[in-house]
Amino acid sequence: MDTTLRTTPLHAAHVALGARMMPFAGFDMPVQYAGIMEEHRAVREAAGLFDVSHMGELRVRGAGARDFVQAVVTNDVTKLEPDDPAASARAMYTAMCYPDGGTVDDLLVYRFDADDYWLVVNASNVEKDLAHLRGELESRGMDCTLADESEATALLALQGPRSLEIAARVTDLPLADVPYYHFLRPAPDSFLGCARAVVSRTGYTGEIGLEIYCEAERAAHVWDALLAAGADLGLQPAGLGARDTLRLEAGFALYGHELSDAITPLEAGLGWVVKLDAGDFTGADALRRQKDAGVPRRLVAFVMEERGIPRDGYAITDAAGAPAGIVTSGTQSPTLGAGIGLGLVRNDPALTTPGSELRVDVRGRPLAARVKKPPVYKKGD
């Protein structure tokens, strides 16, 4: 087995900045630079710049592209069609399922044109997703092609309350006018010399921000330009450690934790991206049956009321100590100064209603936690 770690186009930049590197999804990735706490706070108070070029980008093109994407994801892709052709284009968060309702992946869908779609998938799932989609394409026989553009594409995430101000220093694009989950495709060479940029109002931190796609060979230039533009505004490079604490405070799912082939989108609290009336997508029948029968377990967010950090795999009980579920993700919240987590628990109002008391077994100690409607932190709390 080849255990050689892959690198992103920004690997040399991370090493030069003294980043602590670690294996993640087959890549050598920065986990932190100055420190997770400092980087987390920079994103909450100013801005952080992340390298997420390990993510996968899959292109679906052809006359049958829309129908194919509609057939393999749970959300309604027709909602991406613009009301005004002159307006910014739309992106969509969704899931992709197996016939039994288990989750293949969660992903973003970008509509470039009526016959041109981009699927942005998790780094650890690129090969699996490709195999799944190729199987779907073969069995459905739709008129479109599937291409993996991951190697040629870099992705940077500029996140935080000052992110748009920073971006305005390097581009004349009207980014402040672009709504959430919309994007622009600048003309070639009009955004920091990139031949094929996509600038999207999306992110994974709970803050306003941008995700910037470009050709791999321009990634270092874009990275350096953004860091220079934001140097006096508090911008810091941020690693995977802060990305995880930020997404947990925001209550966002991570594949392999809150979603998996054994966890359906309905169980993970993603019913809002499951449009069962949108068509016969793969897994729809199983999800209808699960919804009609009642989802057996649900994802909850919680905050620890005693000192202790919940971790993936820790047992959850009810207040009386009866087994209730399992922690799927947990950390120490830099903002709240307390342990926070997400967990799958039995679908019982006594366990899932905000304010309900749980116990988390932290190294043999049953510690009190309180269910909270996500996000566990939001501005103004």
Domain presence at residue 279 = no
Supply the mean pLDDT for the chain: 96
Predicted local confidence at residue 88, as pLDDT: 78
Q: Is residue 287 part of a domain?
A: no
Cβ-based neighbours of 67, under 8 Å, separated by 6 or more: 142
Quick count: other Cβ atoms within 10 Å of Cβ 128? 14
CATH at residue 42? 3.30.1360.120
Q: Which residues, including other chains, have CB under 8 Å from residue 54's CB and lie 6 or more apart?
A: 6, 8, 24, 25, 26, 27, 29, 123
Helices and strands, counts by H and E, the chain: 9, 19
Same domain as 239, residue 128: no
Contact (CB, 8 A) for 148 and 68:
no
Domain harbouring 351, CATH code: 2.40.30.110
Whole-number pLDDT of residue 1: 44
86 contact partners, CB below 8 Å, separation of at least 6: none
Structural domain includes residue 103: yes
pLDDT tens for 117-149 read 999 999 999 999 999 999 999 999 999 999 999
Q: What angle is formed at CA 198 by the lines to CA 194 and CA 204, rounded to 5 degrees?
A: 125
Does the residue 361 lie in any domain?
yes
Query: Which residues does the chain have with pLDDT short of 70?
Result: 1-3, 86, 380-381
CATH code assigned at 114: 3.30.70.1400
Last residue of a domain, one of 217, 249, 281: 249
Task: Provide the domain count of the chain.
Answer: 3
Q: What is the pLDDT of residue 381?
A: 60
Q: What is the pLDDT of residue 380?
A: 61
pTM for this entry? 0.96
Verify that 126 and 185 share a domain, yes or no. no
Q: Are strands 116-121 and 182-184 parallel, antiparallel or unpaired?
A: unpaired
Q: Looking at the structure, do residues 49 and 61 belong to the same domain, yes or no?
A: no
Check residue 361 and give its pLDDT. 98
Position 215 scores a pLDDT of 98
Nearest-angstrom CA–CA distance, 181 and 197: 16
Which domain covers residue 108, as residue numbers? 56-148
User: DSSP letters of 173-226?
Assistant: S-GGGSPTTEEE-PPTTSSTT-SS-EEES--SSSS-EEEEEEEGGGHHHHHHHH
CA gap 369, 330 in Å, rounded: 12
pLDDT in tens, 78-88: 999 987 776 77
Query: Does residue 254 lie in a domain region?
Result: no
Statement to judge: residues 162 and 134 lie in one domain: no
Same domain, 17 and 100: no
Burial, 93: exposed, middle or buried (Cβ in 10 Å; 0-12, 13-18, 19+)?
A: middle
**Backbone region of residue 35 per phi and psi (left: phi > 0; alpha: psi in -120 to 50; beta: other values):** left
Residue 137 CA to residue 134 CA, distance in Å, equals 5
